[in-house]
Amino acid sequence: IQVTQSPSSVSASIGDRVTITCRASQGISSWLAWYQQKPGKAPKVLIYAASSLQSGVPSRFSGSGSGTDFTLTISSLQPEDFATYYCQQANSFPPTFGQGTRLEI
């Protein structure tokens, strides 16, 4: 299953609302996770099962979608949110990641 993420990069300002999309090449129900990765650090799960917020993750992060189309939304950007975001489908092996979205100031 291929996963196409867009955009590859986005520039935004503090307080902005940002949406990142992920499209799977075939239906994956809700078997999708979103990760945040900061430079030199390991990725961290933000959203799992397409729309469930990982414990400890701020509520400004939300996920939606099912089937083939998914979105990650950050409702009001904070300085610590500038990072790279990846989606990952978990419907079947091999698990596949989107290409990543770099969120820049």
Partner 1 sequence: EVQLVESGGGLAQPGGSLRLSCAASGFTFKNYAMSWVRQAPGKGLEWVSTVSTNGGTTYYADSVKGRFTISRDNSKNTLYLQMDSLGADDTAVYHCAKRSETSIWPKIWFDPWGQGTLVTVSS
- Residues near partner 1 (CB under 8 A) are 31, 33, 35, 37, 41-45, 48-49, 52, 54, 86, 88, 90-100
* Smallest distance, partner 1 to C-beta of residue 74, A: 19
Distance of alpha carbon 28 from alpha carbon 89, whole angstroms:
7
* Smallest distance, partner 1 to C-beta of residue 37, A: 8
Nearest C-alpha neighbor of 76 from the set 24, 33, 22, 14: 14
Distance of alpha carbon 47 from alpha carbon 97, whole angstroms:
14
Q: Are strands 3-6 and 18-24 parallel, antiparallel or unpaired?
A: antiparallel
* Smallest distance, partner 1 to C-beta of residue 102, A: 10
Measured from the CB atom, is 82 or 97 closer to partner 1?
A: 97
Measured from the CB atom, is 75 or 84 closer to partner 1?
A: 84
